[in-house]
Amino acid sequence: MSAKSQIKKVVLAYSGGLDTSIILKWLQTEYGAEVVTFTADLGQGEEIEPARAKALAAGVKPENIFIEDVREEFVRDFVFPMFRANALYEGEYLLGTSIARPLIAKRLVEIARATGCDAISHGATGKGNDQVRFELGAYALWPEVKVIAPWREWDLNSRESLLAYAAKHEIPIAKKPGGGSPYSMDANALHISYEGGGLEDPWWSPDDSIWRWTKNPEDAPNEAEEITIEFERGDAVAINGDRGTPFQILDRLNALGGRHGIGRLDLVENRYVGIKSRGCYETPGGSILLKAHRAIESLCLDREQAHLKDELMPKYASLIYNGYWWSPERRMLQALIDDSQTRVNGEVRLKLYKGAVYNLGRRSKDSLFDATLSTFEDDRGAYNQKDAEGFIRLNGLRLRTGAKRDAR
């Protein structure tokens, strides 16, 4: 019995877009499998109910169509924990695509088990990171899971061949005006990304029409806007005194950042599979949140806590980028990071202006900032400046010893 014939039912991460619409048909024809579809509202800002009609039209049974609003779970359990770490991949990327994959993998496994599926399937290509993220997550949660990765099996090796397949099987697909394949895009409550097309030339600069969430900074308002963000245990809980759920907070920050042209990034990055890729990203709310979180931490964290977090952050970010959210080492780092946030409480005041975020002030009842120690005025004996001499001489001892040796 062939491996394909052993798979009778499969759950597919399904958006209703080009790739997954074709994969749905391909699973039905190549595997003869009953398909279950899972479509998630991650806060991408687009209506997802049309995916139901598309799945029904493709022959999926109504009871096999799962369309879920996971916006709050996504921001609360994935985005906010990551931002407690101030995670940046390769110094710039706020990991908007990467952080969504663990949740999708989790729900694919849960739905597969609940509906009696033999396998899960996804639309990630054999060249990208997402195949790794989906599958590492699935294996961590269900060691015996079978995975169907069509891009590693079929011969539809270009966007144009996918469009030809769609036309042959009468699968409706939206195209860019003037024809051609659309950008490869990914969106959720944290970001939107663009790859493919002209972006495959690292020297080519896209025109402003590519950006969907953010104004061109040059066209952003000429008047700066000041906002206040309140934090509790390292998470943003209110903007300008107005409390909200995690998704509501991020959604409002996205609107603020987008209006002021904040959060654009054009990056050539190193994929886990060994390929360099170029993408454009919009992360308006996340860019504001990162700046604000570091500001409140600057008041509330002990120096060595803060420095240790900064040293561990690149490792934490690479774990998420490479698909190891469900790994024991990421959980271990998360426990350390979360413990550091217990006293990260207070408010940060920011100015938003033409693509930039400026810190204006921060305050906290848990602040470690002591004005009597740091003042340049009379501190009335709070700090004996003579104590610094012994501290410097002790720390300079090895430097003096080395210099004497080198002078010999």
Supply the residues annotated as catalytic: 19, 101, 130, 184
Q: What angle do CA 116, 122, 126 make, to 5 degrees?
A: 140
In the chain, the amino acid numbered 79 is V
Give the Cα separation of 173 and 296 in Å (integer). Answer: 46
Give the Cα separation of 44 and 215 in Å (integer). Answer: 18
* Contact predicate 59/206, CB 8 Å: no
The residues, ordered by sequence, that sit 6+ positions from 150 with a Cβ below 8 Å of its Cβ are 23, 26, 27, 121, 123
In the chain, the amino acid numbered 43 is G
Phi, psi of 267 (to 5 degrees): -135, 135
